[in-house]
């Protein structure tokens, strides 16, 4: 492929990636309101799907330092959204689960986000959105592989 074509594609990718990411974050924040930050929403979503998690798992999943996750979790525990439970066989392990309040807030926010996403994806043909998601999943795999190569895994 010609270097100019490659550069143009890179520029387009960087531009559209930035626009989509920023606008999506803004629209999601508009749906979840002041109840949660986007990061808190993603953490509730992760724990909801996993049923329980540890701070280390969250730090790995979100690719941030454990101290950053701990700060967010502390605020969420203080608000009664998440609870900590020590493992009976290994007291060093602390599991994080949603409280009833956290579950209810997550479900409410998720319903709003689902409505938002549905209003967007229904503007595409089913084949277009399927192709897009397949391509995006392929990109995610390539990025994971690239990261693993850089870490020497």
Query: Mutual orientation of helices 3-32 and 100-121 as an angle, nearest 10°?
Result: 130
Instruction: Give the pLDDT score at 117.
Output: 94
Instruction: Give the pLDDT score at 20.
Output: 93
Pick one of 3.90.1560.10, 1.10.10.10, 1.10.760.10, 1.50.10.10 as the CATH number of 3-122: 1.10.10.10
Task: Write down the H helix ranges in the chain.
Answer: 3-32, 38-50, 55-62, 66-78, 100-121, 126-151
pTM higher than 0.85 for the full model? no
Q: What is the pLDDT along the chain (153 residues), one digit of tens a residue?
A: 888 899 999 999 999 999 999 999 999 999 888 889 989 999 999 999 999 999 999 999 998 999 999 999 999 999 999 999 998 888 888 999 999 999 999 999 999 999 999 999 999 999 999 999 999 999 999 998 998 888 887
Query: Of 37, 51, 55, 57, which Cα lies nearest the Cα of 105?
Result: 37
Instruction: Report domain extents, the chain.
Output: 3-122
């Amino acid at each position: 492929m010609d270097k100019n074509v490659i550069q143009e594609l890179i520029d387009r990718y960087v531009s559209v990636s930035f626009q989509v990411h920023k606008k999506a974050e803004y629209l999601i924040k508009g749906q979840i309101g002041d109840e949660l930050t986007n990061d808190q929403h993603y953490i509730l979503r992760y724990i909801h799907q996993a049923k329980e998690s540890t701070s280390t798992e969250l730090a790995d999943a979100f690719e941030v330092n454990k101290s950053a996750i701990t700060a967010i979790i502390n605020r969420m525990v203080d608000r009664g959204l998440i609870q900590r439970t020590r493992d009976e066989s290994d007291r060093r392990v602390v599991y994080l689960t949603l409280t009833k309040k956290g579950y209810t807030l997550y479900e409410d926010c998720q319903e709003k986000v689902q409505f938002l996403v549905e209003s967007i994806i229904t503007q595409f043909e089913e084949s277009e959105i399927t192709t897009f998601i397949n391509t995006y999943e392929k990109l995610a795999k390539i990025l994971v592989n690239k990261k693993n190569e850089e870490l020497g895994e």
